[in-house]
Structure 1
């Protein structure tokens, strides 16, 4: 198995840097080959001015080769750092990640199918706040809702299987004991990354959605918001 580990943090000596070392080592020791894409150190240009470019083609090939995509980043203003957003903007191009036609109907494949179907996608996210604030009743919103644009609107939209985020909270105050636990948690998570259940987003199909791409009244009746688009 082959993984592409995309890392977006300005400081290699940070907690994020240590988690990257632990994660890539865990995959390697489990028999994976790992391609590390360090956006800051590689000097990736995040500005989308013209489509394509040699750097885009290179990274598309790196993504195409991966069975697993890991995106690691600190949560800044409830989103990804700008350099990672720019990487997505430039690399996930039309015809590569989306707007890929269904060979039978000619319609674009999306939401569960698409140019990146068959891959799994895991986010490794650090946040300075406490875990409860990013939980189901937390003031910041549940982490899966906070990252909806990435998990559902990017990963699932392009056909990848999104996995629940691997969230590390209170990242600004990590004791040696806590660090040991974080290392064990991430290692254990990666050992089973290809067998764990994906987030249960609904496929965009006639069974679930009408021609306006709105849920049928019979699907999740009375339920509104993001959770309605999850099975069960």
Structure 2
């Protein structure tokens, strides 16, 4: 199949029987049937850590001062990331399409998804100085957010008590995915999941699946810019100034 894509679905929900997992599973199944290569990162099941820290690196550039971007750059230069980060970065590197699947909790992604962004989309791998947005290291690839809510569409309307969902997803959409250079499709939102019946849930499953299939049909160019991104950045550029 000439338009076969490598697709990574990252799902951040602790319960394997959740609707988030149902959405991820439905997308993976239909994408696979369409001939695409699909990897699902089930962060909870695979024991991914949400907290950023010294455990992210196999050795430290500066044992006395933990400057996260300096340490990420050092790890990127020396293949020094912890196993869970290295695994996820390898999956991102191979992906033409990236789909993030998570519930909206307290107006944002759960700790697992935020931790995945913090730890995996690191300096030296996902971005470096001067390579953001239009010049991002992952320019040419495509991404999508699929999110579930407890609130109804009315609550997330302009006149609703929560307001539109777009601003809540902006930190993930613009300041993570678009920041890296991804072309990001409109989010797929499954509203009020705990209050829906089977018919509504089937509709949500169909909508997410169709959006994922449509994403896979869009033009895509997967470069290896991330491999050489640090070549133009002096070693120690992120050294902590005390």
The TM tier, using the shorter chain, reads: 0.7 to 0.9
Q: Gaps spanning 5+ residues in structure 2: where?
A: 55-71, 73-80, 220-242
Equivalent position of 1:181 in the other structure: 203
SS of the equivalent of 1:118 reads coil
Equivalent position of 1:59 in the other structure: 88
Equivalent position of 2:170 in the other structure: 148
Q: Which moved more, 1:23-32 or 1:47-56?
A: 47-56
1:159–1:14 CA distance, 2 compared to 1 (3 A)? same
Alpha-carbon distance in 2 for matches of 1:140, 1:119: 32
Question: How big is the shift at 1:196?
Answer: 6.5
Q: Which moved more, 1:63-72 or 1:17-26?
A: 17-26
Q: Gaps spanning 5+ residues in structure 1: where?
A: 101-107, 198-232
TM-score (structure 2 length as normaliser): 0.74
Equivalent position of 2:131 in the other structure: 109
Equivalent position of 1:39 in the other structure: 43
Answer yes or no: is 1:15 the counterpart of 2:19. Answer: yes
Q: Which moved more, 1:170-179 or 1:60-69?
A: 170-179
* Residue-by-residue CA offset, 1:138-191 (whole Å, 9 max, x unaligned): 332322211111111001111111111100011102212212222222222222
Alpha-carbon distance in 2 for matches of 1:196, 1:185: 17
2:10 and 2:100 in contact (8 A); partners too: yes
1:98 and 1:158 in contact (8 A); partners too: yes
1:129–1:81 CA distance, 2 compared to 1 (3 A)? same
1:144 and 1:151 in contact (8 A); partners too: no
Query: Counterparts in 2 of 1:186-201, with a 5 A limit?
Result: 186-194=208-216
* Residue-by-residue CA offset, 1:187-228 (whole Å, 9 max, x unaligned): 22222114579xxxxxxxxxxxxxxxxxxxxxxxxxxxxxxx
1:56–1:49 CA distance, 2 compared to 1 (3 A)? same
1:128 and 1:172 in contact (8 A); partners too: yes
Query: Counterparts in 2 of 1:81-230, with a 5 A limit?
Result: 81-99=110-128, 108-194=130-216
Q: Which moved more, 1:152-161 or 1:172-181?
A: 172-181
2:89 and 2:120 in contact (8 A); partners too: yes
Alpha-carbon distance in 1 for matches of 2:28, 2:48: 21
Which aligned segments of 4 or more residues in structure 1 are displaced greater than 6 angstroms? none
1:113 and 1:160 in contact (8 A); partners too: no
Question: How big is the shift at 1:69?
Answer: 0.6
Equivalent position of 2:99 in the other structure: 70
TM-score (structure 1 length as normaliser): 0.77
SS of the equivalent of 2:9 reads strand
